[in-house]
Structure 1
C-alpha cells in the first residue's frame, strides 16, 4: 500500500529534524519519492513568514 507523510514547519531545521526521525524507521526500498517546497509570504510591517514543507511517498 502506498502512503504519504506530510511535514510543515516555519524553520528548515525543524523540517530536517522531523523528516530524519521519520526516515529512520523507513527502509530505503520503501521510499517512492520525496517532494519539497518553500513558500514565503509578507506580513504587515514587512515581516516575512516562511513555510518549509515536504511530502514523503512510501510503501507500507
Structure 2
C-alpha cells in the first residue's frame, strides 16, 4: 500500500529535522519520492515582513 507523510514548518531547519527523524525509521527500499514546496505570504497588508511556509510530502510503501 502506498502512503504519504506530510510535513509543514515555518523554518526550513525545523522541516529538515522533522523529516530526518521520520526517514531514520523508514526502510530506504520503501521510499518512493519526496516533494518539497515553499510559500511566502505577506504578514500583514502594508508591512514588508513575510511569513514562510516550508512543506514536504514523503511518498512511501507501507
Unaligned runs of 5+ in 2: none
Moved >6 Å (runs of 4+): none
3-state DSSP of counterpart to 1:26: coil
Q: Give unmatched runs, 5+ long, in structure 1.
A: none
Number of residue pairs aligned between Structure 1 and Structure 2: 60
Q: Distance in 2 between matches of 1:35 and 1:6?
A: 10
User: Normalising to structure 1: TM-score of the pair?
Assistant: 0.96
TM-score by length of 2: 0.93
Q: CA deviation at 1:47?
A: 1.2
User: In the alignment, is residue 46 of structure 1 matched against residue 48 of structure 2?
Assistant: yes
